Amino acid sequence: MLKHVLDVLDLLDRPQASGELLAGHLRSVLDAAGSPAEGPKPEITVTRIEGEQGGTDFVKVTVPGTRGKTAGGEAPTLGILGRLGGVGARPERIGLVSDADGAVAALAAAAKLLDMYGRGDRLEGDVILSTHVCPDAPTRPHDPVPFMDSPISVLDCNRAEISPQMDAVVSIDTTKGNRLLNHRGVALSPTVKQGWILRPSDDLLGVLETVTGERAHVLPITTQDITPYGNGVHHINSIMQPCVATDAPVVGLALVTETAVAGCATGASHETDIAAAARFSLEAAKDFGRGVARFHDQEEFERLIELYGPMTRLQASAA
């Protein structure tokens, strides 16, 4: 996985970084590995979306599983999203910014899955991976350190990245601009589903501990963090924003540090941590597709609704 991370980093760390550049790289990975003759083939698409502060390229990769929906099967589909404002902040900052880590992890995981597919190692369930590439995104003030902004809105990101085919979502995001988790590496959030913050998944914590070889770290999130952007309340960052746009369970996979690091800082990406995030996503996809990793306890979730009612109002925009 580290090789794929390094390849993606090299392609993103340039003013000419674009969705087509990364899509071409992913297609070359698949071509080099070969492709099984039978079954549906992977799909790699690039969509350009313009906003008030510029534009960005969304890269989406669908990797079919042996029993996935694309093959007419019933195995669940995992969505893996690389969340960020931009991979660069030019001309204010030169180089790859810390905020790019989520995109790098998602694209590296996509490359690994395409390589596996070409060699004949196919997962049971489909995997849909999506992120966006913008080398000149704006920045904005945030406490305790500045954030990367995005040329488009979070609503546009959700529309472009989230698919109704996703039965669960892993949202990967750089989450270094806080003082809530003083740890260098990766951390998993509790599961969020339809406005409910549920307990962390034991299955996914087990995957995280296997991948990192250390005790799992859990990212603390609040009710504010799972409400839509633009409502005037503080959010840790956009890591949990996919949960406002889907009924599927969502977990945040955070790349974290011991100290608060600005999202627009350069020279702040740790390749081995990004590789760990990508490996977690891959292993979670393996287990979720074959039905041995649950994101939440459905019976307990239904009991909560029976006792206290739905919390879907927290998914609604305040506008």
Strand positions, DSSP E, the chain: 43-51, 54-63, 78-83, 127-133, 139-140, 147-148, 168-174, 185-188, 192-193, 196-197, 250-256
Per-residue pLDDT, 318: 61
Position 87 confidence tier, pLDDT thresholds 50, 70, 90:
very high
pTM as predicted = 0.96
Per-residue pLDDT, 147: 77
Position 284 confidence tier, pLDDT thresholds 50, 70, 90:
very high
Per-residue pLDDT, 319: 55
**How much of the chain, in percent, has pLDDT values that exceed 70?**
99
Per-residue pLDDT, 194: 98
Averaged confidence pLDDT in the chain: 95
List the one residue out of 197, 316, 185, 198 whose CA is nearest residue 254: 185
Which strand (E) or helix (H) includes residue 255? strand 250-256
